[in-house]
Amino acid sequence: MGGVSEPILRAHDLTKVYSVRGTGQTLQAVAGVSLSLARGETLGVVGESGCGKSTLARLLVRLEEPTSGRIEMDGKDITHVRGSDLRTLHRRIQMVFQDPYASLNPRMTIGRALEEVIEVHRLRPSEQWSARARELLNLVGMSPAMARRYPHQLSGGQRQRVGIARALAVEPEVIVLDEPVSALDVSVRSGIMNLLAKLQDELGLAYVFISHDLAMVRHISDRVAVMYLGKIVETGPWEPVSDAPLHPYTLALQQAVPIADPDVEATRQVRTLVGEVPDPAAPPPGCPFHPRCPLAEEICREIPPLLALLSPDHRAACHVAARRVGKPEATIGNQASLEMSR
């Protein structure tokens, strides 16, 4: 895991709204997300499917245009860069996708897929492309001979290593990893996770690591951000977030992680979430989690909680948690006066 320094990447109040075709409705996939990433750090983003994690990833690497908000890299606004400026940006920030097979051209050899990145970004003279492709394969623990193979001739783990090699081809500073091991067999996941840790140590990379698995995020992250229905509901260093969560949703994710000791697992009290994630096109009023929350109170159904500092470097958007730590006003802010004025 990396150390902490000045942020290399920031998002301020990032929002993405889609139009639902043929209905006249809108769907808010990302709703006012703010986060920061330091050099050499890993920020884990965790949540159920449909919570907006992958959309956030695409926004951060500028594969999609945000509806509102701001993205900065080293303090420079990159929210709307285009053309050659966007190509320059993509030399600094890259993405590794969930499905390595879908992200590789089946008609292109692995070597050519890596050479294409070098060619597009004009990183080396053409006579060096092949040698650089073999170097990249070696960097991710693969034989340079694999350069002659096609994606269908590789295992899932090997294809994901190629995806990582392709991201490394431009020598980036930040890599956004969108569920990089969820499509892989359990037996090969640890190898990919160890590779990512090794590359971070050797190259000083910063990661945004996206997953639905809190245990996986804990394994690699310095800090964790928990997302629900497009919002960050809890964030902080991995230890308090995973071991002493403040938000009921984070607690449910933590309890969903099985314990290796079967005797302890058999006697453990697990609070199972009821229902599904609400429709993002018709989110509930108040706290977005209140329809599924066993602790919900009247205020939760009426006033959306702010993401507030409830303990050192540990924030949560929860009225109940705020009251428990003696800071009930922290999650309301100016919203109470707005509600009373209606």
What pLDDT, in 10s, does the model give residues 90-130?
Answer: 999 999 998 877 888 999 999 999 999 999 999 999 999 99
What does the block give as tokens for 41? 């750090």
Rounded to an integer, what distance in angstroms lies between the CA atom of residue 69 and that of residue 338? 23
What SS3 class is residue 329? coil
What does the pLDDT look like over 326-339, one tens digit per residue?
A: 998 888 865 443 33
Residue 342: is its pLDDT beyond 60? no
- Higher-pLDDT residue of 8, 271: 8
* pLDDT for the residue numbered 336: 42
According to CATH, the topology of domain 7-233 is Rossmann fold (3.40.50)
Determine the length of the chain.
342
Confidence of residue 144 (pLDDT cuts 50, 70, 90): very high
What does the pLDDT look like over 188-215, one tens digit per residue?
A: 999 999 999 999 999 999 999 999 888 8
Confidence of residue 262 (pLDDT cuts 50, 70, 90): low
Element spanning 29, H or E: strand 25-38
Contact 247, 240 (CB under 8 A): no
Contact 129, 96 (CB under 8 A): no
What are the extents of the domains in the chain? 7-233, 239-340
In 3D space, the residue among 31, 173, 16 whose CA is nearest the CA of residue 79 turns out to be 16
Q: Tokens 């800071």 label which residue?
A: 327
The structure's pTM equals: 0.90
* pLDDT for the residue numbered 319: 96
Instruction: Determine the average pLDDT of the residues in 239-255.
Output: 91
* pLDDT for the residue numbered 274: 75
Residue 265: is its pLDDT beyond 60? no
* pLDDT for the residue numbered 267: 63
Residue 61: is its pLDDT beyond 50? yes
Residue 171: is its pLDDT beyond 60? yes
What does the block give as tokens for 299? 């205020």
